[in-house]
Structure formats: C-alpha cells, structure tokens
Amino acid sequence: MNPSVSVITPVYNCERFIGETIHSVLQQHYPNLEYIVLDDGSTDRTGEIIQSRFRGFPIHYERQNNVGEQRTVNRGLLMAKGDYFMVVNADDPLLPNAIDHLVEYMESHPDILAGYPDWNSIKEDGSLKSHQSNGEYDFVRMVAYHKCLPSVGTMVRRKEANGILRDDSFRHVADYDYWLRLALRGELGRVPETLASWRHSPNQVSHDRGNLMAGEHVRLIDKFFGLSDIPANVLAVKERAYFWTYLVAAYLAKDSLRVRYIEETLARSAGELLHIATYRTLLEHARYILVR
C-alpha cells in the first residue's frame, strides 16, 4: 500500500491563484492523499472559489478567524495524519507527479527526515522566471552561510517531526527556523528533480524587505545558537554564521539599522575574507537574489 501523504495549504486572500494550486495537488492523482486547506479568514473570493469550484473533491476545507500564516500552518501540522506531510502555499503549485517522486525518494532513503527538490521560480502569470537548485544538503553549510536549503515542495516524515511547530513570533523566517530545528534531529536530503514552483510577486511578504525582516534574521541566529543540542561541528562555525547573518541583515535593513549591521559584519570580516568560499558564496547569494 502507498504511504499516506498529508498536504497542507494555508491561504489568505489568494483568489487569483488558489484554484490553480488546489488543482495542481488534486492532479497528482496520488492514491493515499489527505488534503487540508485552511482559509485564514480571507476577505476576498478565496472561500467562495474553493467551496464552489471544488465541491465534492477530496479536500478537507476549513475557514477560521485570521490568526496569521504560522499559526495556520501549525494547525495543519497538528491535523495531519499522513506518514509524510508537505506545506504547499496557496500561490505555489506543485509540478506533475511531484508527490510520487518525493515519496519514492523518501522510501528509498529511510534515514532522511525531509527531502527537498529543485524548483522553478515563476512569474505571476505562471510563466518560467528561473530554475533554482539549493544544492546538496550540508547542515554545517546551511548554518555557516545563513542559507536555507529546503524550500517549496519539501516532504517531511511526520512522526520524526512530531512536536516541531513553526515559531509564530517570526513573520519572515519561520520556515528557516523550522528546518534548522528539524535538522538537529537528523539528516535532510536533496531530491535531484524539479518538482515545485515558487511564484514571484512584488507584493508578497517575502519581498517586504526592511528592518523587521532584517531583525528576524539576527534573532533567528541568536535563538539557534542558544539551543543546547547543537553539534560541535556546527558550533565551530558560529562566528562565520554571524558574519553571514549580519551581511544578510545589512542588505535588508534601512537607515541607521543598516549602518549598525554593516558595522557588525565588518567586525567579523577579518578571518572570513581570507576564505575563497566566502567569494563563491557571495556570488551564490547575489545570483539567488537576482534570478529568484
């Protein structure tokens, strides 16, 4: 029998794209699928579209008062019953046969807690903007260079992730925080196939660059290195991790806070600038920002 898979879609005011995304999940034709769609108090036609267009389809749909994306995702995580789960955002459709390929990878790699695929960055009209690959999994690199490797289309073993929820004090970096904490439990892995999409929109939260987002990156790394179960090889790159965190924060911040983060970056730069890997990573970050 096929392992069961729970797909969770949190949605808030996404009438333009919710139909396409739900259709992309249903068109997977995976035989053992639980699909949970949670409407976080949308004020547009989102709920109407779901209830009229997808009436009679195998979707568990609920509407709630607005509590924010992270609490909505957490509710879905607690509801999910599948052997595996995925969070598929309301404007980020899956590619055909994604679930089959992800399950095949997870079943053939029983020690991997989560598998993340390559993905396409798409424009608002759904056309291709760029192809993205975050590279092979390396926990030390993920921390040291402040680079979140899992992204859209990631599949997780539910029981192994039990008890790990999104930190709803974060608005912008809750996913990165989640993957860091999951990685402390075991290995993640890259699925070398393009199976998901991320829709580029100038109005979305992830592009709301500013002091709040910058500060969250710093708070995230403070929180992570405050945990008690960090392995020695990750602790060894703490100074490098702060260098890259402050560099990212300086890029995002404005006015006097940007100056402060630049100063923090420069204070940690002496040793870092001697490493050739620093320049490779700078190019990686620049390319990611430009093409995403």
Query: What is the DSSP annotation of 96-148?
Result: TTHHHHHHHHHHH-TT-SEEEEEEEEE-TTS-EEEEE---S--HHHHHHTT--
Tell me: do 37 and 120 sit in the same domain: yes
Looking from the CA of 132 toward its CB, the CA atoms found within 13 Å total 28
Burial 166-175 (b: 16+ CB within 10 A, else e): bbeebebbbb
Please tell me the predicted confidence (pLDDT) of residue 113: 98
Residue 206, pLDDT above cutoff 50: no
| Choice between 42 and 280, residue whose per-residue pLDDT is larger | 42
Assess whether pLDDT exceeds 90 at residue 66. Answer: yes
Quick one: average pLDDT of 57-84?
98
Kindly report which listed range (79-83, 120-124, 145-149, 267-271) carries the lowest average pLDDT score. 267-271
**What pLDDT score does 208 carry?**
54
What is the rounded average pLDDT for all residues in the chain?
Answer: 92
Domain coverage including residue 216 = 209-291
139 shares a domain with 97: yes
CATH of the domain at 12: 3.90.550.10
Percent over 70 (pLDDT), the chain: 89
pLDDT at 281: 59
Task: Decide if pLDDT at 146 tops 60.
Answer: yes
Reported confidence tier of residue 282, pLDDT bands at 50, 70, 90:
low
Asked if residue 201 and residue 285 are part of one domain, the reply reads no
Which residue reads 């970096």 in tokens? 173
How many domains does one find in the chain?
2
**Are 197 and 216 in a shared domain?**
no
**Do 88 and 10 share a domain, yes or no?**
yes
| Percentage of the residues of the chain whose pLDDT score is greater than 90 | 85
User: Is the per-residue pLDDT at 290 higher than 50?
Assistant: no
Ranking 73-77, 80-84, 258-262 by mean pLDDT, the lowest is 258-262
Q: Is 229 in the same domain as 163?
A: no
Q: What is the pLDDT of residues 221-234, one digit of tens each?
A: 999 999 999 999 99
Pairing type for strands 5-11 and 33-39 reads parallel
120 and 241 in a single domain? The answer is no
The reply to whether 22 and 62 lie within a common domain is yes
Query: Does 125 have pLDDT greater than 70?
Result: yes
* pLDDT bracket for residue 39 (50, 70, 90): very high
> For residue 1, what pLDDT band results from cuts at 50, 70 and 90?
confident
Looking at 167, 188, 206, the residue that finishes a domain is 206
145 with 53, same domain: the answer is: yes
User: 164-204: per-residue pLDDT in tens?
Assistant: 999 999 999 999 999 999 999 999 999 999 999 999 875 55
- The average pLDDT across 27-55 equals 97
Is residue 287 pLDDT above 90, yes or no?
A: no
Residues 230 and 144 in one domain: no
Same domain? 21 vs 102: yes
Residues 6+ apart with CB under 8 A from 228: none
Q: Which residue has the tokens 């923090």?
A: 264
- Asked if residue 144 and residue 11 are part of one domain, the reply reads yes
Pick the last residue of a domain from 182, 206, 230: 206
pTM score, whole prediction? 0.91
**Token pair in block for residue 210:** 């500013």
Confidence of residue 20 (pLDDT cuts 50, 70, 90): very high
pLDDT band at 205; cut points 50, 70, 90:
very low
Average pLDDT over residues 89-98: 98
| Domain final position from 171, 206, 241 | 206
pLDDT at 267 over 90: no
